[in-house]
A and B are shown apart, each in its own frame.
Chain A
C-alpha cells in the first residue's frame, strides 16, 4: 500500500510541476505596469485587461513611455497626474493609506498571538486537572474534601457539568 501511495503522490508531483514549467515565461514590461493600474472610466477594470476607449488610450501611453525609455515610476506618475490617485490599483503605502497595508497582517499576527495564549491557558488548565494527586477529582470524586484553590475550582467545574448534564437529561426525557 505504501508503494502504491508513493507512486500516486509522485505522479501527482511530476504532473503538477510539469504543467507550469511548460508555460512559465516572463510577461512584457507594459503588463507589469498596466496590471497595477485601474481604468478611470466607469468600467473600473484593471488596465491590462481593459478594452474600453479610455483603457486603450492609457495602454498606448504606457507602451509609448516604455518605447521612449521612461521608467515605471515616470510612466505611472504621469498617468496619476492626469487621472488622479484613483487609477492606482493599490494605494501608495503612505499616510492614512498605510492602515490598509498594515492592518490585515497586524490583525493576523494579533490573532495568532491571542490563539496561542488561549491554547496555552487551556493546556495549563487541563494539565492542572490531570496533575498527580488530583486524578480522583478529575475522575469525578468528591473534591470538596480537598483543600486549596484548584480543588475548589474543580469542584465548581464538576458541579456545573453535573447540573448541565441533569438539565439535558430532563430535557431529553420531556
Chain B
C-alpha cells in the first residue's frame, strides 16, 4: 500500500507538471486540445491527492507501525478519532492535507468556470498547477508520508497530548482551507498579468474567492484561539505565538485587500497595489507554513536541520520574484484610470486603512522573525513575545478600529463638511461620553479608553447607517416591523450591509479582548479539602481530589464547589492528565462561563503535603470574543451571497 501511496504522489507530480506545460502550450498556440488536457490533469492531481490521503488514513486507523509517520504520531492506545486526526499532527501529513485542499481548489475552480471558454481561466488553472508542482514534488522527493521503517516498532510514539482535543479535529482543516485558498486570488492576479488583461470583472471574482478564504481563515484563527484557551491552561486565548502570528499575517493583508479592491472596482485606482496585496497574501500563507514547519523559529540552527525549510524559502523567493517581475513588466496595464477628487473621502480612508493593515502585518512579521535575526547577528538568544506585541501592535490595531468607524461613513470622491458633521458628531459625542463614564470607575489606560471610544464610535456609525437605510425605504415598508425592515435592507445590498455586520463583529471582539485582558483577575493558592480560594466575587472550595485512568492517560482531578456572592453556582472539575506514552502532563481547564465573564480554574498539581495547587482567573467579557467571531462569520456569509450584483453587472456589460 505504501508503494501505491508513493506512486499516487509521483503521478500527481507528473500530472501537475503536465498541466502547467500543456496549458502554457495551449495558451501560446491558441489550440484548445492542450488546454483541455491541462484541465483534466488538474482534476487528476486532485483525485491522486485524495487517494494518497485515503491510503495514509487507512494506515493511521489500522496503526500500521511499518509506516514511519504512523509510528511517530500514533500509538495503539490512541482513541480512533485522534488516530484519524493524526493526519495533520506531523509535517508530512499536514503537507498532504495542504496538497489535497490545494488540488481541490483547482478542481472546484475548474468546475465553477467550466462553461467559460475564455483562456484566461486556463491561465489561472496553470498558476494553481504550478503551486501543485511544488507541493507534489515536496511530498514525492523530500518528505514522503509513505516512508517505511525497516523494523517496525511494536507500538508508536503516540500523539502529542496538546493535539488530543476536539478543537484540533476541525481547527487545522478549516485554517488550511483559508490559508491554501489564497492561491486562487493569487492565480487570478498572475493570469491577469501573464495575459495582459484589463477590465474589472476578474476583480469581482477575486473578491469573492478572497472573501471565502478570508472567512475560513478567520474561523480557523478563532478556533485556534478557543483551543488555546481551553487546552493550554494559561488563562488566555491569544499569546502572539509564532504559529498564531503566521495565520494572522495573511488574514491582515487579505483584509486590507478586501477594502482596497473596492476602490479599484469603483474608481479604477490602486491596481498595482491590489495585485501586490494579493501576491503578498499568498506569499505570507506559504511563509506561515514555512514558519511552522521549518523549525526556524525554535532556533536559527534548527533551520539547517529541517529538510523542507530551504525548499519553502526557495519557493517563496522564486514565486515572490516572479510576481514582482510580472507586476513591473505589466506596469502600463496597472495604471490608474481615475484621479482622486479629495483627500477626505472613502478612497482616502481606505488607503490609510491599507497602510495600517500592512504596518500591522510588518510589525507582526518583524516581531515573529526577529529572534532568529537577532541570534544570527548578535549571537544572543532573545524572545519577542506577548509583552512586545501588546505594546507595538495594540496601538496600530486601535488606529484601525477608529478607521473602521470613519471609512464607511465618508462619501466616495469627496466628503463635504455637511457629510462630516452629519456622520461624525453623534458617534464622536457618544464615544467621548463613554470614556467619561468609564473614567471614574478606574478605567485609566490610554489604550483601554481609546478602545472604549472606538467601539462606541464604530457601533454608532453602523447603527446610523442601518437607520438611514431603513429611513430611505420607509415609505415602501411603513407597515413592516423593524426586524423585517432590517432584513430587507440587508437583502437589498448584501455586500454593503454584510460588511457592516463584519465590522460590528470586530467591535464586539475588540470589547471582548479589552475586557478579558485589561480587567482579568487572578488568584492562586494550595488548597486542602474544605479550604477555599477567593477570586473576585467567586469562592472556590476544594471538595476532594480524585485519580482515574483514561484510555491513554492518568487523570488527577480537583473537585471544586463554586459560589458567587455566597450563592452556590455549580461543581467544577479541574484536571491534570499525565499521558502514558509521552509522560507529558497536560492541563484540563474547568470553565464556568457566563455571558459577562468566565471563571477559569486550573489544577497546577498535587503537592507533597497533599494540598492541590489551584489557580483561578476571572476573564470578563471573553464570550464577546467568540460572539464577535460568529457575527463576523455571519457578515461574511451575507456579503458572499451577493450573487445578484455580479449577475447584474454581467448583464449590463455590452
Interface residue ranges, A against B (CB under 8 Å) = 1-2, 4-6, 8-10, 12-14, 16-25, 27-28, 31, 35-36, 38, 44-46, 48-51, 56, 84-91, 95-97, 99-101, 103-105, 107-108, 111-112, 114-116, 118-120, 122-123, 125-126, 129, 160-161, 164, 167-169, 171-173
Contacts and interface: CB of A to CB of B under 8 A. Distances in A.
Contacts, number: 226
A96 B340 contact: no
A51 B233 contact: yes
B437 A88 contact: no
B36 interface: no
B654 A9 contact: no
Given A17-B452, A25-B442, A108-B359, A172 B653 contact: yes
A121 B527 CA distance: 68
B587 A122 contact: no
B587 A51 contact: yes
A109 B121 CA distance: 40
A127 B320 CA distance: 37
A28 to B, nearest CB: 8
B339 A90 contact: no
A17 B383 contact: no
A4 B467 contact: yes
Interface stretch (B39-47, B205-213, B347-355, B630-638): B347-355
24 contacts: A1-B471, A14-B437, A16-B511, A19-B515, A20-B443, A23-B618, A27-B520, A38-B383, A46-B234, A49-B233, A49-B234, A49-B235, A49-B236, A50-B234, A51-B587, A51-B602, A87-B383, A90-B384, A91-B370, A91-B374, A112-B355, A115-B355, A168-B198, A172-B653
Contacts of A22: 441
Given A17-B437, A104-B363, A169 B654 contact: yes
Nearest to B431: A13
Interface string B514-537: 110011111000000000000010
A17 B500 CA distance: 23
A122 B336 contact: yes
B437 A107 contact: no
B484 interface: no
Contact of B463 (A5, A95, A120): A5
Contacts of A38: 383, 385
Given A14-B437, A38-B383, A96 B621 contact: no
Contacts of B455: 16
B304 interface: no
B434 A17 contact: yes
Interface string B213-238: 00000000000000000001111100
A23 B536 contact: yes
B225 to A, nearest CB: 14
A16 B620 CA distance: 12
Interface residues of B, number: 91
A123 B413 CA distance: 10
A19 B430 contact: no
B337 A21 contact: no
Contact of A96 (B339, B374, B460): B374
A29 to B, nearest CB: 13
Given A16-B456, A85-B381, 11 more contacts: A13-B434, A20-B438, A20-B515, A21-B441, A21-B443, A23-B618, A27-B522, A90-B383, A91-B388, A107-B363, A108-B355
Nearest to B618: A23
Highest count of chain A CB atoms <10 Å: which of B235, B362, B385, B536 = B385
Interface string B428-461: 0010011001100111000010001001100110
A89 B383 contact: yes
Contacts of B430: 9-10, 12-13
B518 A20 contact: yes
Contacts of A104: 359, 362-363, 366-367, 392-393, 396
B274 to A, nearest CB: 14
Nearest to A23: B519
A112 B352 contact: yes
A91 B443 contact: no
Contacts of B355: 108, 111-112, 114-115
B239 interface: yes
B234 A20 contact: no
B377 A96 contact: yes
B596 A45 contact: no
A129 B339 contact: yes
A126 B362 CA distance: 32
A27 B524 CA distance: 13
B234 A171 contact: no
Contacts of A86: 381-383
Contacts of B233: 49, 51
A116 B386 CA distance: 32
